[in-house]
Structure 1
Amino acid sequence: MAAAVSVEVVRWQALLGEGLGRVAGRFARVEPRRRAGRFVAGLLSGLSRVNCWTIAERVGERTPDGMQHLLSRASWDADGVRDDLRGWVLEHLADSDAVLVIDETGDLKKGTETVGVQRQYTGTAGRIENSQMSVFLTYSARRGHTLIDRELYLPQSWAEDPVRRERAGVPAGTGFATKSALALSMIIRALDAGTPAKWVTGDEAYGKDGAGLRDPLETREQAYVLAVACDHRVPGPSNVRVDELAGRLPKRAWQKLSAGPGAKGHRYYLWTRIRLNPAGKSGHHWALMRRNQRTGETAFYRCYSPHPASLPELARIAGRRWTIEETFQTGKELTGLDQHQVRTWTSWYRWTTLVMLAHAFLAIASAHARADTTPGLISLTRNEIRHLYSKLVIEPAYTTIDTLGWSQWRRRHQHRAKTSHYQRRHQDHDLQLEY
């Protein structure tokens, strides 16, 4: 057993080295390139809190200055790394039936200075909160799924405020774009790069946008299954609501089909579809409906394909949307996707891109592990691979000297902060006495 694990560790080191090698040319100098590798290792090290301080301490750097410089001022191309990352993922996971999944996530924030932050609804909290929103694209294939693109949502209040934009380093040519527009730009970028993907799927925040997302996808003859709200109106002479249409269907119209495997087995629902004929549009269009057998709750989708598609296939694609939810969960729990403490545009893109690289490593490693499973054991998951990599590779390299050195650095930093604080309080007190 120990020998088998040792072999796996060697493979993981080679695989991560392969990924870092793919992006090496995007760094102007060797120092930031090597530091980026250490940064990714720190993201994989199982830290309870992930930031430049904790990462630098875990990987043996004496202060967090180098990691902070990597995210803010070092010369490297985060978008180029993203493109190379996508190519690396496709090399290991690509298949012709893959799905591009779009969704957004929110990070709760305090204050008003972090780029893009404002009070807005976020599914993370399930309510309106002070938060920063971003849109992601996941590549979901038979062998695995991981993030391949990201865009930060810049609210209109930010887009129209030149002072805040300048302080946060927002590029001059960046204007307001809806989340659907950001999603479309990522989908087009992936497809133009030759990403094999038969379908696109997403929730109703994207399905409701006909002109901004559905129509452009149809123009490219890109098939999609996009959720819509219950009050979505079906195109046609009657312009009826989709939930009213579902209520008219007889019981025999519904079929029990799987939306794909879940943690506890296949996820069965009742499914049906109605053929649509939107005026002036080619291809095949449907209103797809999914009903929970126990609660009767019904979900609705608009579907398009340039070629015929069966009801079981549409149900399977609709069920693939959960992969981005799992990706967000593992990205946050395993690689610190939501733990960034950066305020500027450049730092956010750099942090997020390196997190994506770390997560892609776990996704690819777990895909290879599933192909070589030991009888009597489940295959190695992303969680287990991250745990073993941290314990067997990263922690042994961390020495007592490093621990003591960081203790002294933290106490020195805290002493300076305390001294500065007391000096300001003393100065404020003196000014009050003068008046």
Structure 2
Amino acid sequence: MSGRGTKTSEKRFVAYLEGLASVIGHADRKAPLRDYCVGLMACGGRKSVEPMAAVTAPERTAAQHQSLLHFVGSGAWSDEKVLGKVREMVLPAIERQGPIEAWIIDDTGFPKQGRHSVGVARQYCGQLGKQDNCQVAVSLSIANHHASLPVAYRLYLPKEWTEDRDRRRKVGIPAEVGFQTKPE
């Protein structure tokens, strides 16, 4: 890619982040949002905040690690607003290639160790092709022949999680969140 193409990509990325920053609330979240997104793209393999911190702030990795953990763990933004903003910014580019032809409802399993991450349970994990410890997210995407775009995304909460008050309290699951099947 020429230097000119790189500059164009950088400008588009900055504009994309500005759009996301407009819906995440407080201005103090803008830099961690940028660092988190850069970290997602720069780090191969497992996407955890430790390698992201090393890549995005090598001179102050420990402080960056804490900053990214706080951003991810205590981010008080609206997922719906962020997805809405992504849809607003990306959908026109997809539709320039043709009209939306399909709505795709899917569940995706993320293998996990332990039992403390929200929603982790022994359940079917498509990545593994069997039942094992995992989190599952249900998503709705729209697509045409050129691209797809997730427009809604929700972590599936197994029944055992909805019935365990102590576990819910520890991870901050609101009382009004009840059990729903994946199709629901």
The answer, yes or no, to whether TM exceeds 0.5 is yes
Q: Which residue of 1 aligns with 2:138?
A: 135
Deviations 1:167-203 (A, max 9, x none): 121122111111111xxxxxxxxxxxxxxxxxxxxxx
For 1:249-260, list aligned pairs within 5 A.
Answer: none
Q: Which residue of 2 aligns with 1:44?
A: 41
Question: Quick check: 2:161–2:168 contact (8 Å CA) kept in 1?
Answer: yes
Of the candidates 4, 16, 27, which is equivalent to residue 19 of structure 1?
A: 16
Matched, 1:60 2:63: no
Decide whether aligned partners of structure 1 residues 174 and 48 sit closer, same or farther in structure 2, where only a CA change above 3 A counts: same
Deviation at 1:139, TM superposition (A): 2.1
Aligned mates of 2:124, 2:45 — CA distance in 1:
27
Question: Quick check: 2:112–2:135 contact (8 Å CA) kept in 1?
Answer: yes
Aligned mates of 2:75, 2:126 — CA distance in 1:
34
Q: Which residue of 1 aligns with 2:26?
A: 29
Q: Which residue of 2 aligns with 1:82?
A: 83
Deviation at 1:40, TM superposition (A): 0.4
Aligned mates of 1:33, 1:143 — CA distance in 2:
31
Of the candidates 95, 99, 111, which is equivalent to residue 96 of structure 1?
A: 99
Structure 1 residue ranges without an equivalent (≥5): 182-435
Question: Quick check: 1:29–1:75 contact (8 Å CA) kept in 2?
Answer: no
Aligned mates of 2:70, 2:150 — CA distance in 1:
25
Q: Which has the larger radius of gyration?
A: 1
Deviations 1:271-321 (A, max 9, x none): xxxxxxxxxxxxxxxxxxxxxxxxxxxxxxxxxxxxxxxxxxxxxxxxxxx
Taking structure 2 as the reference length, what is the TM-score of the superposition? 0.88
Q: Which residue of 2 aligns with 1:180?
A: 183
> What is the aligned length?
178
Q: Which residue of 2 aligns with 1:73?
A: 74
Q: Over aligned residue pairs, what C-alpha RMSD do you find?
A: 1.7
Aligned mates of 1:97, 1:27 — CA distance in 2:
27
Question: Quick check: 2:140–2:151 contact (8 Å CA) kept in 1?
Answer: yes
For 1:87-166, list aligned pairs within 5 A.
Answer: 87-94=88-95, 95-166=98-169
Structure of higher RCO (CA pairs closer than 8 Å, 6+ residues apart) = 1
Deviation at 1:147, TM superposition (A): 2.4
Alignment-mate amino acid for residue 35 of structure 1: P
Partner-residue secondary structure (3-state), 1:23: helix
Question: Quick check: 1:98–1:140 contact (8 Å CA) kept in 2?
Answer: yes
Aligned mates of 2:99, 2:165 — CA distance in 1:
44
Deviation at 1:30, TM superposition (A): 2.3
- Comparing 147-156 with 45-54, greater Cα deviation is found at 45-54
Decide whether aligned partners of structure 1 residues 108 and 162 sit closer, same or farther in structure 2, where only a CA change above 3 A counts: same
Identity %, equivalent residues: 26
Deviation at 1:65, TM superposition (A): 0.4
For 1:222-241, list aligned pairs within 5 A.
Answer: none
Aligned mates of 1:8, 1:137 — CA distance in 2:
32
Aligned mates of 2:134, 2:18 — CA distance in 1:
35
Of the candidates 168, 171, 180, which is equivalent to residue 171 of structure 2?
A: 168
Aligned mates of 1:19, 1:75 — CA distance in 2:
20
Partner-residue secondary structure (3-state), 2:22: helix
Taking structure 1 as the reference length, what is the TM-score of the superposition? 0.39
- 4+ residue runs over 4 A deviation: none
Decide whether aligned partners of structure 1 residues 47 and 97 sit closer, same or farther in structure 2, where only a CA change above 3 A counts: closer
